[in-house]
Amino acid sequence: MILGTTGHEQPIYGQELIAMPTPAPPWPTNVDDTNLEELYLDHPFNWAMSFALFKLGDAGVLADVHRFRSSYLKLKGLKNKNMHLEHIIGALQFEKEGHTEEITTFAKEVEGIKDRLVAARVRTRVQPILARLSVEGIIQYTMSCTLYHSHLFL
């Protein structure tokens, strides 16, 4: 969240940071922006991806990647709680229905995050940074796109 004010002792306003759409690059790419697995795979141990995302310099992307990485455990926890609620007597049925609605709302929010990350072309934008870091010997990275296209970024 970004915070701001109009002056000393004035109200503080806040705005949630989100990934914004980004136009396609002017060069051909084989990067599948819909495959977001690499953004959360081995997190937090995939420091190369985290470093590349930081080097991207887009606070909205960082915020949505964080939300996306956190979503799996949160959704898993929500589903486990839902399973336990199914075993509780009928008096708790109202609570279960409310929780199911929360899961649905959350799943829609995660889809929105994924859609924003895809529209922001995060994978396409991070790929050249990872390629450069690999060439410079800063990281070891097996690129998911062909090396033929990677030379365009060097």
Query: Does 106 fall in a domain?
Result: yes
Q: What is the reported pLDDT for 154?
A: 45
3-state DSSP percent of the chain in helix, strand and coil, to 5: 60, 5, 35
Tokens read off for 143: 């690129």
Write out pLDDT tens, residues 64-106: 999 998 888 888 899 998 888 777 766 667 878 888 999 999 9
Query: Does 2 fall in a domain?
Result: no
Query: Does 5 fall in a domain?
Result: no
Q: What is the reported pLDDT for 89?
A: 67
Query: Does 131 fall in a domain?
Result: yes
pTM of the model: 0.55
Q: What is the reported pLDDT for 91?
A: 64
Q: What is the reported pLDDT for 148?
A: 42
DSSP SS3 for 89: coil
- State how many domains the chain has: 1
Pick from 44, 97, 107, 36: nearest CA to 76: 107
Q: What is the C-alpha to C-alpha distance for residues 129 and 139, in angstroms, rounded to an integer?
A: 11
Q: Which regions in the chain score pLDDT beneath 70?
A: 89-92, 141-154
- Which structural domain range is residue 59 located in? 18-153
Q: What is the reported pLDDT for 143?
A: 56
